[in-house]
Amino acid sequence: EIVLTQSPGTLSLSPGERATLSCRASQSISSSYLAWYQQKPGQAPRLLIYGAFSRATGIPDRFSGSGSETDFTLTISRLEPEDFAVYFCQHYDNSLWTFGQGTKVEIK
Amino acid sequence: EVQLVQSGAEVKKPGDSLKISCKVSGYSFTLYWIVWVRQMPGKGLEWMGNIFPSDSDTRYNPSFQGQVTISADTSISSAYLQWSSLKASDTAIYYCARQAVKRSFDLWGRGTLVTVSS
């Protein structure tokens, strides 16, 4: 089973700063099935990125995804107040979906 | 409007049975897989299983196999997650979501909070 490890656990930044979130897989994975989600307190997760690079419908272009093999990154180019939340990466392989443990982006 | 509407919060006792629902509107229910995701208090997301409503093909995360049952009723565009005997450790928020492009989950219900306590 593939394990996804996200880092850091918590990222303390100010609005306007750049956020770089990491998702590392325990073995090489297909970027086709790597997704990122945002979850705010009391809300359901929201799909941000699918296929490692593609933004979901309605997602602002300050969100971007990159990476390959075992290392994937979600970048928020300039943090807006509404971006402070928890972010999860997710992967599908062999009929199984796994999630990373999440990175919390908090206001510094 | 495309949406997944989940049933309301439940408070149950250990050993009780429970069936929660996820009603789809705004798109063809039979064309997309529906998934169920668990989020225990203060924790991350866990895929439990999914169902293709058109033929009821169902897949389970091995961690949840035998613990829950996933079903669907195409006549009312609803998917279900049920337990025959709840445990305190089943306390969590349960989300349904639509499985979409490249196996991502593009639409989510608001979640159903299940509390199991004696």
d(CA B39, CA B88): 14
Interval B32-90: pLDDT, tens: 999 999 999 999 999 999 999 999 999 999 999 999 999 999 999 999 999 999 999 99
d(CA B99, CA B49): 11
Q: What integer pLDDT is reported at residue A57 of this predicted model?
A: 96
Show residues of chain B in contact with A47, CB under 8 Å: 104-106
Q: In the β-sheet with A71-76, what is the strand arrangement from edge to edge?
A: A4-7, A19-25, A71-76, A63-68
| Contacts for B55 with CB less than 8 Å, ≥ 6 apart | none
Nearest CA to B27 among B102, B111, B95, B99? B99
CA-nearest residue to A101 within chain B is B44
Determine whether the interchain pair B103/A97 forms a contact, defined as Cβ–Cβ distance below 8 Å. Answer: yes
Q: Read off the DSSP letter of residue B7.
A: P
Q: What integer pLDDT is reported at residue A52 of this predicted model?
A: 97
Q: What integer pLDDT is reported at residue B94 of this predicted model?
A: 98
Per run of 10 residues, the mean pLDDT along chain A (length 108 residues) is 96 98 96 97 98 97 97 98 98 94 97
d(CA B3, CA B108): 8
CA-nearest residue to A49 within chain B is B104
User: Is the preceding omega at residue B62 within 30 degrees of 0, hence cis?
Assistant: no
d(CA B89, CA B78): 26
DSSP string of A1-35?
A: ---EEEE-SEEEE-TTS-EEEEEEESS---GGGEE
For an interface test with B, give the residue of A40, A88, A97, A99 to mutate (most B CBs within 10 A): A97
d(CA B20, CA B9): 9
| Average pLDDT score over chain B | 97
Torsion of CA A3, B41, B106, B47, to 10 degrees: 40
Strand residues in chain B grouped as ranges (E): 3-6, 10-12, 18-25, 34-39, 46-52, 57-60, 69-73, 78-83, 92-99, 105-108, 112-116
Q: What integer pLDDT is reported at residue A105 of this predicted model?
A: 98
Determine whether the interchain pair B59/A45 forms a contact, defined as Cβ–Cβ distance below 8 Å. Answer: no
Question: Please, which residues 97-116 of chain B have a Cβ atom closer than 8 Å to chain A?
Answer: 97, 100-106, 108-111
Determine whether the interchain pair A46/B109 forms a contact, defined as Cβ–Cβ distance below 8 Å. Answer: no
In a 3-state reduction of DSSP, which class is residue A40?
coil
Average pLDDT, stretch B97-118? 97
